[in-house]
Structure 1
Amino acid sequence: MPTIPDLVEHLAAELKARGQMMATAESCTGGLIAAACTEISGSSDWFERGFVTYSNAAKSELLGVPAALIHEHGAVSEPVVRTMAVGAVANAHAHWSVAVTGVAGPTGGSAEKPVGTVWFGWATPEGVFTEHQRFDGDRAAVRRATVAHALAGLLARLRSGA
């Protein structure tokens, strides 16, 4: 798998070629995806903004995730990450977004959602796509894997046109 800086460089090239912008909506990564994107000079040409919505209240207030949805499914769920991805595009000047919500650990896991469980959402001009992954390792490893997977997923969707 390419490194995170390599993924960002390719993502930047794809977005700039289209004249389009992206946004992030992050929970378990706490802004690491946005930080990776803005690590390179000129990122304001393709990176519009990042939402760090660590709390449930922030997910509701900044991204429009209904509190009832969080209550019914939990913050780490497909319906919540889908709404986060849509909310990022709706509340930014962006065409694309990536959203993540998960359990980075070492605490907070359960039998249903063990540590390392992460839901991903990508809002694209063609629709919203979601995916669930489970990563091994400590908190730092889970967060690093989440950043890489989120960026790789967005890049793949950009390249496929979906």
Structure 2
Amino acid sequence: MSRSLFIALFALALSACASSHVITGRPRPPVPVSQVRVYFAPPPSRYEEIALLESNSGAFTYGEQNKMDSVVGKLRAEAAKLGANGVLFQGTQDGYGGSGVSVGAGGGSFGGRHYSGGGVGVSISPRQKFARGVAIYVLDPPPMNDPGPQAPPVNPPRN
């Protein structure tokens, strides 16, 4: 394989793993990814929307937890580039790249000789995870070690 073909294929593979955004507010200077908190419900503090985000786990990510970690990490990284200190997580969806097995056979004759042939083709495209979120700037964020709102106990104690 030529070097230029390899580079082109590598660039295509990397672009398939990228995140994207649509600006809906006012971006700020970039922040470290470690300062971006993921919210699964709107934060209690006021916040400003910066952008709508999308990401995918990539074709070579295996295992559900690894896929989830990948998409959330990419949402955080994209939000950090836009100066957001939070991502309001909107959900995930599994995408199927399609996989299958194809079998073909053929035959023919030429000049009194008969020829036949066959083949098997296999296509394996692992399932990807896609995620959506909103890059937000929380005006008065809770401390990073604050776990956020807690769910009520499943079986509350009786008095």
Q: TM-score range by the shorter chain?
A: under 0.3
Report which of the two structures shows the higher radius of gyration computed on alpha carbons.
Answer: 2
With normalisation by structure 2, the TM-score equals 0.26
Which is richer in strand?
2
Which is richer in helix?
1
With normalisation by structure 1, the TM-score equals 0.25
